[in-house]
Amino acid sequence: MQYDYLIVGAGISGTAAAYELALHGSVLLVEAETAPGYHATGRSAALFTPHQGTQLVQAINRVSAAFFANPPDGFVDQPLLSPRGNLTIAEPGQEDRLQALLALSAPGREVHEINATAVLAMAPLLRPERIGAAVHEPGVADIDVDSLHQGYLRGFKQRGGVLVSGQRITALRRTGELWTAQTPDSSFQARIIVNAAGAWADHVAVLAGSVPIGLVPRRRTAIIVDGPIRIDTRAMPAVDFTSTEAYFKPDGGRIMASLGDQDPVEAQDIRPDEWEIAVLANWLQNETLLTIRRIEHSWAGLRSFVADDSPVLGFDDVVPNFFWLAAQGGYGIMMAPALGRVVAELLLNDSWLDDLAQQGVTAKDMGVSRLIRGHQPAVKNRDT
Ligand SMILES: Cc1cc2nc3c(=O)[nH]c(=O)nc-3n(C[C@H](O)[C@H](O)[C@H](O)COP(=O)(O)OP(=O)(O)OC[C@H]3O[C@@H](n4cnc5c(N)ncnc54)[C@H](O)[C@@H]3O)c2cc1C
């Protein structure tokens, strides 16, 4: 069978795009691993942090927020977001470092200063002497990543989409108007390739005869440890600090933490580094009243960036009908609903961006300006 679209990668990005495109044409979603979500998608901190990332990332997340709040009927049977909130702590002497964050506060996206007593009421495992000043951002939420991903996969199949997992695409060849994608076991044909291969997106581009975009996969390490014995942390906000990239958040009755490390590495099935784990556990004990007796779970995942830390989407200019959906960095879960819609918009030229413009979100905000290298797409969209 020939498909209209072949999407490489069934992480959250490829799956969201597959779900949107399946309304409009035949879609094949090909995943190298037997379990979709095995790589970055299954290894995130699962936070919706609307104030983080570049201006473009924040604009995209404003649009995703509407999907999270009101997913389509039947998409999931429980809320995709649950309130978490975030505390940012400035150590004594660093209080002025909170000004930039406070300046971002706007109606619907509140960020406000709170005193140490209020901080300790919310996060009693913090050390009082480490708190100089703090801000609280109530709009940060936990994302139910598995429900989101499964909702997309289920809806994709209901719309007639086909998922093939455990098949790595090893060659891409274009003959006339048709791509042939080769895996060790099979070959598939499609009109348009969507490259949603996460950390491997540059590798897939090379397979297609194109040029890498300079994607850098960066390793991030995380641990889960037991929570404090006498303190119920389940309703505690996530906590980060002005002096470091490190953060922690509750995970059920346990605590998940990361140093916010971002070492550049090759795309791979990344494992946590023992030294990082030891440094991270030590940091967590220094910043909190926790006594860590054992690391319950540790993992590492790849966050993949290009130079300007914004996502890349659009048609390639070297090879025709090859579409990028890459470089989601540390925001790929929260951006997926909006980016999935943008991919469909760019490939189909439907009216969705007009609707967004009426809500005050311009096509430029949404990433249409990110169309890379100016290739004329097969279906011309209004901005090219
Ligand atoms: C520790 C950590 C914390 C994070 N925290 C957050 C957070 O709080 N909030 C947030 O929004 N984001 C967060 N992120 C980022 C988020 O996880 C990623 O941006 C997102 O998962 C990227 O999704 P993806 O689908 O693009 O990539 P992936 O999930 O990696 O999916 C790409 C898929 O492509 C497949 N693939 C690659 N090559 C081929 C091929 N040749 N053939 C077939 N299949 C192929 C891979 O097997 C993979 O499954 C975090 C990431 C990490 C590591």
227 and 122 in one domain? yes
No. of H helices and E strands in the chain?
9, 20
* Domain closes at, from 305, 329, 354: 305
175 and 245 in one domain? no
170 and 45 in one domain? yes
Give the helix/strand (H/E) hosting 357. helix 352-358
How are beta strands 171-175 and 178-182 bridged, if at all? antiparallel
Q: Is the CB of 144 under 6 A from ligand 1?
A: no
Residue 119 near residue 89, CB atoms below 8 Å: yes
Closest CA to 192 of 322, 312, 345: 322
Q: Is the CB of 9 under 6 A from ligand 1?
A: yes
Return d(Cα 291, Cα 299) in angstroms, integer. 20
3-state class (DSSP) for residue 70:
coil
Return d(Cα 9, Cα 213) in angstroms, integer. 17
Return d(Cα 287, Cα 72) in angstroms, integer. 41
201 and 176 in one domain? yes
pLDDT tens, the chain, 384 aa long: 899 999 999 999 999 999 999 999 999 999 999 999 999 999 999 999 988 888 888 888 888 999 999 999 999 999 999 999 999 999 999 999 999 889 988 887 789 999 999 999 999 999 999 999 999 999 999 999 999 999 999 999 999 999 999 999 999 999 999 999 999 999 999 999 999 999 999 999 999 999 898 999 999 999 999 998 888 899 999 999 999 999 999 999 999 999 999 999 999 999 999 999 999 999 999 999 999 999 999 999 999 999 888 888 888 878 889 999 999 999 999 999 999 998 988 888 645 555 555 555 544 455 443 433 333 333 323 232
CA 237 from chain centre, in angstroms, equals 20
Closest CA to 39 of 313, 258, 270, 263: 270
Q: Which domain holds residue 284?
A: 86-138+216-305
160 and 70 in one domain? yes
154 and 49 in one domain? yes
CATH number at residue 344: 3.50.50.60
Give the helix/strand (H/E) hosting 303. strand 295-305
Best mutation site among 12, 44, 48, 172 for ligand 1, i.e. most ligand atoms within 8 A of its Cβ?
Answer: 44
287 and 224 in one domain? yes
Residue 10 has a pLDDT of 98
Best mutation site among 216, 322, 331 for ligand 1, i.e. most ligand atoms within 8 A of its Cβ?
Answer: 331
Look at residue 161 and tell me if it is in a domain.
Answer: yes
Best mutation site among 29, 31, 153, 306 for ligand 1, i.e. most ligand atoms within 8 A of its Cβ?
Answer: 31
Q: Residue 252: left (phi > 0), alpha (psi -120 to 50), or beta?
A: left
Provide the number of structural domains found in the chain: 2
pTM of the shown model = 0.92
Residue 228 near residue 125, CB atoms below 8 Å: yes
Q: Residue 8: left (phi > 0), alpha (psi -120 to 50), or beta?
A: beta
Residue 375 has a pLDDT of 30
What are the residues whose beta carbons fall under 8 Å from the beta carbon of 272, sequence distance 6 or more? 221, 222, 223, 298, 299, 300
Return d(Cα 321, Cα 302) in angstroms, integer. 27
Residue 59 sits at the vertex; the CA angle it makes with 4 and 42, to the nearest 5 degrees, is 60
344 and 313 in one domain? yes
Cα dihedral value 152, 157, 161, 166, nearest 10: 80
CATH number at residue 284: 3.30.9.10
Q: Residue 93 C-alpha to ligand 1 middle, in angstroms?
A: 38
Look at residue 81 and tell me if it is in a domain.
Answer: no
Return d(Cα 114, Cα 138) in angstroms, integer. 12
3-state class (DSSP) for residue 349:
coil
Residue 104 has a pLDDT of 82
Q: Residue 330 C-alpha to ligand 1 middle, in angstroms?
A: 9
How are beta strands 162-165 and 27-31 bridged, if at all? parallel
